A and B are shown apart, each in its own frame.
Chain A
Amino acid sequence: MSGSGQAKAEGLPQALVQALPEALAAELRALPLRYPQRRGALLPILHRLQEWRGHLDPADMRLAGEIVGISAAEVFSVLSFYTMYRQRPVGRFPIGVCRNISCWVNGSDKLVETVKQELGIAPGEITADGLFSLQEVECLGSCGTAPCLEVESRYFENLTPDKVRALLARLRAGASDPAAAIRSAQNEA
């Protein structure tokens, strides 16, 4: 396979980059140039790989390590420190409900209950159709607009159970293009 849409990365293991779109591979190779030491680019590289795949698997860890010059094991040591990096697949719409103080005082537990009832999943689970997953997250900095949930770091604020039900319906309707669905749901909110 050597289609024109595939990466011809220099200095990177061909097997690892083959699946990447060429533009993404080029972007990943350029990221270390922004930092005084290549390793500074590790978090941004992991963010971009996760945006592309949906989570990070061992091939991504090897690739990120090759780009910044550390082992896959060390990449794993770093990414496992941070809550935003996912080591296994999540739903197409991963829902994170803030459970910290101001959201909780304003009824975040009711939001979690609503998602549970509507989708039949508990925190940590994915719906059978793969569309949604749920987790409780710590403070999102939305305390003045509480309660809040996030989908791929896009915030939905001043929520009520009814608003959550409407949001889930909108996302479900736009499942073929999740990023666009999240954007349009934000605009309607």
Chain B
Amino acid sequence: MENYLSTEFARSGPLLLAEALNKGRYKTAQRVFELMTPEQVVDEVKNSGLRGRGGAWFPTGIKWSFMPKPPLKGPSYLVINADEGEPGTFKDRAIMEKDPHLLLEGILIGSFAIRAETAFLYIRGEYLTAHDALATAIAELEQAGFLGDAVFGTKHRLRIVLHRGAGAYICGEETALLNSLEGRRGEPRPKPPFPAVYGAFGRPTSVNNVETLANVPAIVEHGAAWFKSVGTAQAPGHLLFGISGAVERPGCYELPLGTTARELVEKHAGGVKGGKKMRAFIPGGASTGFLPPEKLDVAMDPESLKKEGTMLGTGGIIVIPEEISVVDAARVFSRFFRHETCGQCSPCREGSAWSDQVIARFQRGEGQREDFTLLEEIMRGSKQRTICVFPEAFAGPLGSAIKHFRGEFESAMTTQQAPHA
């Protein structure tokens, strides 16, 4: 299978509409609007096995099938989650900066599939260059009649509202994003109700990630069988693997799901920078935690990584070189999660701050034996006790650090015995 996500990534600026049309873009969207029914699109995507690339890996077609069917009692919305903020993740940015029309064609088809006449594209505030590329591309579509009151000259209507966030990692959580879109603090909502029932502005909403939607035009064009011909049985298709940290050639690599971490790091990214040894790697963004180099042969798909006690997350691999201690790297994350907790649930607000203090203690060489127990208790006391999965996110790097690299923490302990030890 040829690459279908990253064909424009080598460009310096965005692919504009005229050139996109020369490459055959929007033919699939036009065919969908002119000839297909929403059910046919949902079925094709369901059959393809496409799963959400934002990190949760929920089947996209099934998510869409939860949306209301006629007779509709009011508007439904598509919300695009472009709030990419998981450290180690920069794939959605590449799509939006280089190939905004790939995403927009996916948005057209996705909106049609769920019968939405408005799509809100929520992009993180810092992605101003991507925002500008999208604003231009949306204006091009309006001009061309691919958006508006008669999409492709059909009776279908669609408008896309481009909306900037303002700096908050938690807004990548879909219900926090909805609150933020509504002009509120970006605090996650208790579920149920799920967005398909009560989403943006109280209306049925499907929230989909940028890369997920970027897969949709190719799936509808070539069919579910084509899509399932690569990747794993449970997670078909290509993924944009981000590889960063201490590697020779960091970047976004489009490869089938199930490619090993070793192939990604050693073959594609050129191995550890400067020919050094690897101390640890992170398979799929900050919240997936640390793995030792012995695990490099793990296949990068949700099921294989689950077996290793972690997750595929966003597929953003981060390589930690030999000269950096896992204690120091864990501190970067504990400080980050302490900064980014929204604060509405006490176990998360307090747990993220306490765990950061404990890691800081190890970093100063003042860790104590009972700090291991304390970290375990913080993680146990906050997981599944909050509105969203943020405690699971901060427990990822902490739990894996003290599991796989316990020796490093033990040598970062104070030589003085605590009085009550």
Listed in ascending order, the chain A residues whose CB lies under 8 Å from chain B are 34-37, 39-44, 46-47, 68, 77-79, 81-85, 99-102, 104-106, 138-146, 150, 152-155
Contacts and interface: CB of A to CB of B under 8 A. Distances in A.
B125 A84 contact: yes
A47 B169 CA distance: 18
Given A39-B182, A46-B166, A82-B167, 5 more contacts: A40-B183, A81-B185, A101-B245, A105-B319, A145-B250
B75 A36 contact: yes
Contacts of A101: 87-88, 245, 282, 286, 318, 329, 332-333
Given A36-B201, A150-B126, A155-B129, A43 B185 contact: no
B88 A143 contact: yes
B163 A83 contact: no
Interface residues of B, number: 59
A43 B244 contact: no
Given A78-B183, A84-B166, A101-B245, A143 B203 contact: no
Interface string B153-197: 000000001011111110000000000111111110000000000
A143 B89 contact: yes
A94 B319 CA distance: 30
B244 A146 contact: yes
Contacts of B128: 152-154
B185 A78 contact: yes
Nearest 10 interchain pairs by C-beta: A42-B183, A83-B167, A82-B166, A143-B244, A84-B167, A153-B128, A39-B183, A102-B244, A139-B87, A81-B185
Nearest to A45: B183
A143 B185 contact: no
A61 B337 CA distance: 29
Interface string B329-357: 10011001001101000000000000000
B90 interface: yes
Interface string B117-139: 01000001111110000000000
A150 B127 CA distance: 10
Contacts of B203: 36
B332 A154 contact: no
Given A36-B75, A84-B126, A138-B340, A104 B332 contact: yes
Contact of A43 (B75, B165, B318): B165
Nearest to A96: B126
Nearest to A152: B128
Nearest to A139: B87
Given A43-B166, A101-B333, A138-B340, A81 B90 contact: no
Nearest to B90: A141
Given A36-B201, A37-B182, A83 B318 contact: no
Nearest to B122: A43
B85 interface: yes
A106 B84 contact: no
Interface of B: 75, 84-90, 92-93, 118, 124-129, 161, 163-169, 180-187, 200-201, 203, 242-246, 250-252, 282, 286, 316, 318-321, 324, 329, 332-333, 336, 339-340, 342
Nearest to A82: B166
A131 to B, nearest CB: 21
A21 B147 CA distance: 31
A81 B168 contact: yes
Contact of B324 (A40, A82, A105, A155): A105
B381 to A, nearest CB: 25
A106 B85 CA distance: 19
A150 B243 CA distance: 21
Given A41-B183, A47-B125, A105-B321, A35 B161 contact: yes
B242 A40 contact: no
Contacts of B342: 81
Nearest to A154: B128
A101 B166 CA distance: 21
A139 B85 contact: yes
6 contacts: A43-B163, A83-B167, A100-B286, A106-B245, A143-B90, A144-B90
Contacts of A146: 244, 250
A77 B245 CA distance: 36
Contacts of A142: 90
Contacts of B333: 101
Contacts of B336: 100, 138-139
A140 B127 CA distance: 8
A145 B90 CA distance: 10
A150 B161 CA distance: 25
Given A36-B201, A155-B129, A141 B252 contact: no
A34 B161 CA distance: 7
B339 to A, nearest CB: 6
Given A37-B182, A43-B166, A82-B167, A144 B243 contact: yes
Contacts of A36: 75, 118, 200-201, 203
A82 B88 CA distance: 21
Contacts of A139: 85-89, 169, 286, 336
